[in-house]
Amino acid sequence: MLSKSQARAFFLGGTVVTFLIFIGLTIYSFQPKNDQTNHHQIDANVIRGKQIWEANNCMGCHTILGEGGYYAPELTKVIERRGEGYVKAVLQSPIPWGPRGRKMVKYEMNDEDTEAVIAYLKWIGNIDLNGFERVVSPLAKDKE
Amino acid sequence: MKYKSQKVAYWFFGLCMLLFALQIVYGFIMGFARIGWDGLHNVIPFNTARAVHTNLLVVWLLTGFMGAAYYIIPEEAQRELVSVKLAYVQLISLALVGVAAIVGYHFNHWEGRKFLEIPRELDYLVVVNVLLFLGLILATLFKGKRKTTTALVLTMGLVFAALLYLPGMIWFDSQVMDSFFRWWVVHLWVEGVWELIMGGILSYLLIKLTGVDREVIEKWLYVIVGLTFLSGLLGTGHHYYYIGVNKIWLIVGGIFSALEPLAFLGMALFAVYMYRKGEKSHPNKIALFWTIGASIVSFIGAGLLGFAHTLPQTNIYTHGTLVTAMHGHYAFWGAYAMIVLAIISYALPNVTGRKRYDKTSGHMAFWLSNIGMLGMTVAFGVAGVAQVYMERKMKMEFMEVQNEISIHFVVLLLCATLFATGILLYILEFIKYGRPTDEALEVKSY
Ligand code: HEM
Ligand code: HEM
Ligand SMILES: [Fe+2]
């Protein structure tokens, strides 16, 4: 029968081995040759967009890359789906946006911030998501 | 209660009850917003309600874990806590940081990263607070007469949980890296180190409630936490399938996360088997229900419902839908909420000296909250599966789908009412136990 010290060895051994593999795979994933995100295209505007995205907790309602709240539309491909003009109208709307009843927070963003958010969403839209980009709702190009 | 300083735990549990009640209020706000009753939108928009709901959850669970540690560690180490005064300082500062964060969320002051919304300046205070907590626990443990496996596993879980808070404090310019390291906190907490905390509390409760030999229980505890890390560390890959990192994670994450349910199955078998094996029949039936319940419901919520969407072939459709919310509720409920409620139910009679071991209202609290939560899980699940089909297979518009499935949120709210009634009964029981008394020291606490 298994003894207590064997059980402890199983715990410690398994933890150390899988931990090392995990760190190895993490390093592998972030090698420049494995980049799927166009990392070099992250410019000041994209960064500013990300900061605005975070400062307003947009993720509290929307998902991006499939992560966030489930209350409002997935935004990974929003620029491709709706176009820049539409997104601009949403961000600058003087009343809470909500053509289908469910309301968004009113942000009345200025042009500069709006451009930054759009730059950020454009960068997001070009990431290679291992196939998820073709499933995530509802992708204009997959609609007949 | 053997040691006077164990009384500190009571006040941690009290804070737990308060934060839990508030969490449920914000859950209702979101549930109503989803059926169109969004009258509070201007004051508490959905993203505020969501941040408050999930952060209160995490904070009340952590408060519960801390209370559990203050109760368990003195008894396992066989000495008083090194400083009761500092433990109260820690409690009050924890409550203050929590309140500051929650108030800030109502004024658009947050970090805007799911589950890690606490703004940076408060993060530092959290770190200080947790260091104080760990200092007290570690000092008590090392000065103690004995170091049991149960105490070590519990403490190890708490220390690692604190360490893993740190990757969540690094800023990245890339959303992909941001999300990658966010999972080091969120996933490695709930599918890693928190399982050590759960395992430690479960093991303590089983030793107390069943009377089975400590050596036997602790041996299996090692096996369970061994399975946890063996599967859970590389299982993090199940969050890396579709966020813009290498495809290697589809294989690694798929295989290892599919093994994660084993640790939860282990937990359930462990509890049920020890209960059968035990000769001792402890009079605290309510604590026994919560303990065995936690081990079984966590297997269903985390193990089975987690497995249901963890393979890459399934996750590509369910990723970021209400299917995730279904699993999130039942997993958090079974594994962590129920184990905290179990240790509270066990500890209260011992610190207050009132033996409300087998009262009807205690049983009602257990069954109403469990039936309510099961119903909520089904409602989220049906809504989620319908959403996946309409949105991701039939390519319907997001809001069109949302309007189709809103009926399931009426069902959700009805079940949530049942759930909340159960929790209300639990909190009333908590209040009826009254304050801790020193006479409780003389009462034999098994
Ligand atoms: C007690 C343990 C667990 C808890 C508390 C828990 C909770 C959660 C929560 C809250 C989320 C949403 C996170 C977010 O989007 O930020 C999530 C996601 C997920 N969980 Fe768990 N979980 C547990 C165990 C498991 C297990 C054992 C598995 C696999 C067998 C699993 C599989 C998943 C998957 C695949 C996702 C991602 C869903 C998506 O792509 O949207 N979970 N879990
Ligand atoms: C009255 C009871 C409750 C109601 C009505 C409720 C409702 C909700 C709603 C509507 C959401 C947001 C989903 C979305 O983004 O659209 C949510 C999120 C969440 N709730 Fe609750 N909830 C309740 C109780 C609880 C309890 C007791 C727990 C934990 C044990 C819990 C854990 C969570 C978690 C982890 C999330 C985030 C899920 C994710 O992002 O995948 N909730 N809840
Ligand atoms: Fe996970």
Q: Where are the domains of chain A?
A: 1-34, 39-143
| pLDDT reported for residue B281 | 82
Distance, CA of B275 to CA of A119 (rounded, Å): 59
Distance, CA of B118 to CA of B51 (rounded, Å): 9
Give every residue of chain B whose pLDDT is below 70, as ranges: 443-446
Tell me what the pLDDT averaged over chain A comes to.
Answer: 94
Name the percent of chain B lying above pLDDT 70. Answer: 99
Distance, CA of B281 to CA of B271 (rounded, Å): 15
The continuous run of DSSP H or E covering B88 comes out as helix B84-105
Interacting residues of A51 by C-beta distance below 8 A, sequence separation 6+ = none
Residue B21 lies in a domain: yes
Please compute the mean of the pLDDT values over residues A17-35 and round it to a whole number.
98
Distance, CA of A22 to CA of B33 (rounded, Å): 40
B175 touches chain A (CB under 8 A): yes
- Among the partner residues A18, A128, A138, nearest to B396 by beta-carbon distance: A138
Picking from B319, B327, B208, the residue whose alpha carbon sits closest to that of residue B260 is B327
| pLDDT reported for residue A140 | 46
pLDDT at A21 over 70: yes
User: Can you say whether the dihedral through the CA atoms of B388, A88, B108, B36 is positive or negative?
Assistant: negative
pLDDT at A138 over 80: no
Picking from B440, B320, B327, the residue whose alpha carbon sits closest to that of residue B381 is B327
Query: Whose structure tokens read 């310019």?
Result: B173
Q: Could you list the residue range(s) of the whole structural domain that residue B274 is in?
A: 4-437
What is the predicted ipTM? 0.96
Q: In this structure, which residue's CA is closest to atom 24 in ligand 1?
A: B302
Query: Does the beta carbon of B168 sit less than 6 angstroms from any atom of ligand 1?
Result: no
Say if residues A114 and A92 touch (Cβ distance below 8 Å): yes
Interacting residues of B45 by C-beta distance below 8 A, sequence separation 6+ = A61, A103, A105
Residue B143 lies in a domain: yes
The number of C-alpha atoms within 13 Å of B308 and in the hemisphere containing its C-beta is 20
Distance, CA of B333 to CA of B397 (rounded, Å): 32
Q: Which ligand is nearest to the CA of B329?
A: 2
Dihedral angle computed from the Cα positions of residues B37, B39, B43 and B45, in that order, rounded to the nearest 10 degrees: 30
Which chain A residue's Cα is nearest to B218?
A4
Residue B348 lies in a domain: yes
| pLDDT reported for residue B445 | 56
pLDDT at A135 over 70: yes
Residue A24 CB neighbour total at 10 angstroms: 10
Query: Does the beta carbon of B257 sit less than 6 angstroms from any atom of ligand 1?
Result: yes
Residues in chain B: 446
Picking from B181, B180, B183, B204, the residue whose alpha carbon sits closest to that of residue B192 is B183
Please give the CATH architecture assigned to the domain spanning A39-143.
Answer: Orthogonal Bundle (1.10)
- Among the partner residues A10, A37, A53, nearest to B244 by beta-carbon distance: A37
| pLDDT reported for residue A34 | 97
Closest ligand 1 atom to B310 CA:
35
pLDDT at A139 over 80: no
- Distance of CA B139 to CAs A143, B158, B407, Å? 63, 14, 54
3-state secondary structure of B358: coil
Which chain B residue's Cα is nearest to A140?
B395
Alpha helices, DSSP H, located in B3-83: 8-34, 46-77
Closest ligand 2 atom to B28 CA:
5
| pLDDT reported for residue A144 | 43
- Distance of CA B406 to CAs A7, A47, B401, Å? 49, 36, 9
What pTM, to 2 d.p., does this model score?
0.97
The continuous run of DSSP H or E covering A64 comes out as strand A63-64
Q: pLDDT for A116-134, tens place per residue?
A: 999 999 999 999 999 999 9
pLDDT at A142 over 70: no
CATH number of domain containing B158: 1.20.210.10
Residue B443 lies in a domain: no
Q: With contacts defined as CB-CB under 8 Å, which chain B residues touch A36?
A: 176, 244-246
Question: How many angstroms away from the CA of A128 is the closest CA of chain B?
Answer: 6
Domain total in chain B: 1
